[in-house]
């Protein structure tokens, strides 16, 4: 619990965002992106619908409690992107302040431009995080993939981007494999939004169910399994990459 809370705390960087925007006439997109994940090191990236945030957090707790695997939950930074968007819009995009304290009116074109910048920074940062983690797990639920077309399309542009990048990202062996002279492939199984559907290709992902997680947990607790075997290596042996 404390491990996950600590990671969430590191992702909460509103003060840093405000200082970068502050009174300057220009904003460094590079600095914003570099500060998005301050010194976060995780082994598992959990891709999921925002509607499944609680399920994703339960999975993260399960992985840490049973395998000491730390997880990155992408909806944590979705929340931060909203904060960043608000900070930028309030500084650069306000058309006029409402006299009755009911709110602000924002310039439509400026707001579209600021959204493009924030989403590009966020998307790039998420891709870098996927590249840094060893394993990506995608929560394939009706909130992520519509029940009428399971496994083929999603309304979420974020899920589409994450899974497409995960298919193309470089595959590297963990340091423990290099040290042991191993050469195993690494893979994992990996609404809402406006009615725009994005095609998904899940053919390179290995399917995991709740029964799979239970088997994985039981296998790691089996005395016949070497205690030196990394938890993710145990998963890869049980469910070889597609």
DSSP for 176-203, written as a single string: HHHHHT-----------SSS--EE---T
Q: Reduced to 3 states, what is the DSSP secondary structure of residue 233?
A: helix
What's the pLDDT score for residue 5? 42
- pTM value surpassing 0.75: no
Q: How far is CA 9 from CA 15, 66, 88, 133, in A?
A: 12, 22, 22, 19
Strand arrangement of the beta sheet that strand 135-138 belongs to: 71-73, 44-47, 135-138
Asked whether residue 14 carries a pLDDT value surpassing 80, the answer given is no
Find the mean pLDDT for residues 33-56: 82
Find the mean pLDDT for residues 46-50: 91
* pLDDT digits 0-9 by tens, 175-187: 666 555 544 443 3
What's the pLDDT score for residue 58? 94
Which candidate, 14, 134, 10, places its Cα nearest to that of 63? 134
* Residue 96 host element (H or E): strand 94-97
CB 139 within 8 A of CB 49: yes
CB 84 within 8 A of CB 32: yes
What's the pLDDT score for residue 46? 94
Q: Reduced to 3 states, what is the DSSP secondary structure of residue 71?
A: strand
Average pLDDT, the chain: 76
* pLDDT digits 0-9 by tens, 185-226: 433 333 345 667 788 888 888 888 889 999 988 887 654 544
- Confidence band of 138 (pLDDT split at 50, 70, 90): very high
Which candidate, 141, 156, 147, places its Cα nearest to that of 193? 156
Find the mean pLDDT for residues 1-9: 42
Most confident of 20-34, 85-99, 198-212, 227-241: 198-212
What's the pLDDT score for residue 64? 92
- Confidence band of 2 (pLDDT split at 50, 70, 90): very low
What's the pLDDT score for residue 23? 58
């Amino acid at each position: 619990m404390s491990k996950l809370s600590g990671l969430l705390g590191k992702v909460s960087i509103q003060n840093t965002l405000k200082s970068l925007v502050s009174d300057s006439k220009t904003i460094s997109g590079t600095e914003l992106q570099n500060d998005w994940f301050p010194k976060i090191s995780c082994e598992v990236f959990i891709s999921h619908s925002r509607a499944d945030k609680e399920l994703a957090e339960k999975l993260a707790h399960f992985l840490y409690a049973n395998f000491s695997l730390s997880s990155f939950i992408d909806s944590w930074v979705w929340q931060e992107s909203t904060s960043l968007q608000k900070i930028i819009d309030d500084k650069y995009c306000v058309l006029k302040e409402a006299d009755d304290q009911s709110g602000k009116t924002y310039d439509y074109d400026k707001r579209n431009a600021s959204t493009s910048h924030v989403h590009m920074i966020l998307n790039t940062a998420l891709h870098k995080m996927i590249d840094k983690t060893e394993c990506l797990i995608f929560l394939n639920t009706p909130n992520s993939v519509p029940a009428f077309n399971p496994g083929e399309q999603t309304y979420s542009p974020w899920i589409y981007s994450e899974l497409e990048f995960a298919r193309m990202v470089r595959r590297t062996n963990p340091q423990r494999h290099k040290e042991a002279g191993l050469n195993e492939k690494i893979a994992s199984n990996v609404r809402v939004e406006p009615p725009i559907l994005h095609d998904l290709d899940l053919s390179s992902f290995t399917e995991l169910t709740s029964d799979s997680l239970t088997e994985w947990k039981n296998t790691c607790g089996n005395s016949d399994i070497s205690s030196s075997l990394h938890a993710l290596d145990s998963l890869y042996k049980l469910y070889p990459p597609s």
